[in-house]
């Protein structure tokens, strides 16, 4: 088994036994990243910066005292979605607007993982300002799916998903506004979790839609994601949307371990677990191959003691229009700061201040970003705010209530992540509505602020990965990750790779 195939816990063992150093591990994954430029997953690699962090990690490992252990993540490489600002590395958000921007500080997520001892490999490609479902909207070229280079990896965290799937990095950060962690994870055959809104700090995460954006980890397995999320999560005084409560003070990793250890019988692994299956998730629009893989996963849960309960999320179809009013409205406000005055792209030729701002924005933003700014500005304009934005927020509240009604009858909700497997490059580029429809099963979770994750559960047409979506109630990440982990202990979908070389 190569280093690329090892879990985070296994890499920890290799480091602690001195079978490999943090520097050697970083060099190994840097070489892998440099050898797969065909995926266009990485936007910025810097050996000097990475190896400096790795040397610091080796010092920490060498000087640990034997009455305590080094942090479980010390010396392990990670790469960051290029939506998180990072000191020294460029942060572009996949946009020409920020092509040469270097932040003077680290995002809280980046800082927390650095404090945990992780080594940054570099920055990962993404849809421009996290707007997209295919990672074809990046100003620096589309990311390719490692399972089929002619297909998309999903978006907007497509670079993160592709890099983890191809084992260019053991782990990556991503963000989820309407499904941008879960959908690319499903299409690339890896595991990812979007935590409860407010559990992970948004400070230093370039904003798309402030009431929806949430960071989370992407890795091979649920166990790895539990370890990463534990390090990423926590109250942050620098983020006004960060939640400070009793639930957020409990260690996700320790709770995950306790939940996982409490189940002893492999044949009744999920005894007493009630799984809600929304009938709206298995209606017209879901492809047969995805439906078959997801139903097979649900059957596996049922065979090991779980009870499947048919539930209804009646406003599922309304999540698309609600989201595509609220998210663009917030985007139009957030992106107003990119005007060519303080930082970011500035047009070279202009007549006055107004002309400079107009030309800078026209040159710096891509087509999808412009589309959403225009929609958002429209729905917030005088005479339309009440007709569109206010009504969308009312629908959002009703969607959240649908989930709470469902959780009265079940512990978790499960179904598909996306209606189809990864589609061909360019197939939906000229049809934004068709692209938006790919998010129909993930948007409601984001609008409600609930935690949700994608777990590999099989393959569909063209031998492309399929993801099982697991949705939990607020702050129930540890139990949700434990359920996913126990499913992965009796299946091997998460271990399948498109290519693994020494």
DSSP sequence for 253-308: HHHHHHHHHT---GGGTTTT-EEEEEGGGGSTTS-HHHHHHHHHHHHHHHHTT-EE
Give the neighbor-by-neighbor strand order of the sheet with 412-416: 42-45, 119-124, 77-81, 171-176, 214-219, 191-194, 452-459, 465-471, 412-416, 274-278, 307-311
Q: Do strands 42-45 and 119-124 pair parallel, antiparallel, or not at all (unpaired)?
A: antiparallel
- What CA–CA distance (Å, rounded) separates 165 from 340? 37
Catalytic residues: 81, 156, 180
DSSP code of residue 195: P
3-state SS string for 417-470? CCCCCCCECCCCCCCHHHHHHCCCCCHHHHHHCCCEEEEEEEECHHHCEEEEEE
Torsion sign (Cα): 236, 240, 241, 243: positive
User: Sign of dihedral through CA atoms 147, 149, 151, 155?
Assistant: positive
The rounded distance, in Å, linking the Cα atoms of 265 and 159 is 38
Reference 128, options 173, 86, 186, 81; nearest CA is 81
């Amino acid at each position: 088994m190569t280093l690329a195939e090892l879990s985070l816990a296994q890499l920890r063992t290799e480091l602690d036994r001195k079978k490999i150093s943090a520097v050697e591990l970083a060099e190994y994954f840097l070489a892998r990243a440099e050898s797969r430029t065909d995926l266009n997953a990485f936007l910025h690699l810097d050996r000097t910066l990475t190896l400096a962090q790795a040397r610091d990690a080796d010092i920490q490992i060498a000087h640990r005292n034997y009455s305590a252990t080094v942090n479980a993540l010390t010396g392990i490489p990670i790469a960051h979605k290029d939506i998180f600002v990072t000191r020294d590395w460029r942060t572009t958000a996949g946009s020409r607007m920020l092509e040469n921007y270097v932040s003077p500080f680290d995002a809280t997520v980046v800082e927390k993982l650095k404090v945990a001892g992780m080594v940054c490999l570099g920055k990962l490609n993404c849809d421009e300002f996290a707007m997209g479902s295919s990672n074809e909207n990046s100003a620096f070229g589309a990311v390719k799916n490692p399972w089929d280079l002619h297909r998309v990896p999903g978006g907007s965290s497509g670079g993160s998903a592709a890099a983890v799937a191809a084992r260019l990095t053991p782990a990556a950060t991503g963000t989820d506004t309407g499904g941008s962690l879960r959908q690319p994870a499903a299409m690339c055959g890896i595991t990812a979790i979007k935590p409860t809104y407010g559990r992970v700090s948004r400070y230093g995460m370039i904003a798309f839609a402030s009431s929806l954006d949430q960071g989370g980890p992407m890795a091979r397995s649920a166990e790895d994601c539990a370890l990463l999320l534990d390090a990423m999560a926590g109250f942050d005084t620098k983020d006004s949307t960060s939640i400070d409560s009793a639930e957020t003070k409990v260690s996700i990793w320790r709770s995950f371990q306790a939940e996982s250890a409490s189940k002893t019988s492999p044949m009744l692994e999920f005894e007493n677990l009630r799984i809600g299956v929304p009938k709206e998730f298995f209606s017209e629009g879901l492809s047969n191959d995805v439906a078959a893989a997801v139903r097979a996963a649900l059957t596996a849960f049922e065979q090991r003691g779980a009870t499947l309960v048919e539930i209804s999320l009646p406003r599922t179809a309304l999540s698309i229009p609600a989201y595509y009013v609220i998210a663009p409205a917030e985007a139009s406000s957030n992106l107003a700061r990119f005007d060519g005055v303080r930082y970011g792209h500035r047009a070279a030729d202009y007549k006055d201040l107004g002309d400079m701002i107009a030309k800078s924005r026209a040159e710096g933003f891509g087509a999808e970003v412009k589309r959403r700014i225009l929609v958002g500005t429209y729905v917030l304009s005088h005479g339309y705010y009440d007709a569109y934005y206010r009504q969308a927020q009312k629908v959002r509240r009703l969607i959240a209530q649908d989930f709470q009604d469902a959780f009265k009858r079940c512990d978790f909700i499960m179904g598909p992540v996306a209606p189809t497997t990864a589609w061909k490059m360019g197939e939906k580029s000229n049809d934004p509505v068709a692209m938006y429809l790919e998010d129909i099963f993930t948007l409601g979770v984001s609008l409600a602020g609930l935690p949700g994750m994608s777990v590999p559960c099989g393959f569909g047409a063209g031998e492309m990965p399929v993801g099982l979506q697991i949705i939990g109630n607020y702050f129930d990440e540890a139990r949700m990750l434990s359920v996913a982990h126990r499913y992965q202990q009796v299946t091997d979908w998460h271990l399948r790779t498109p290519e693994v070389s020494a």
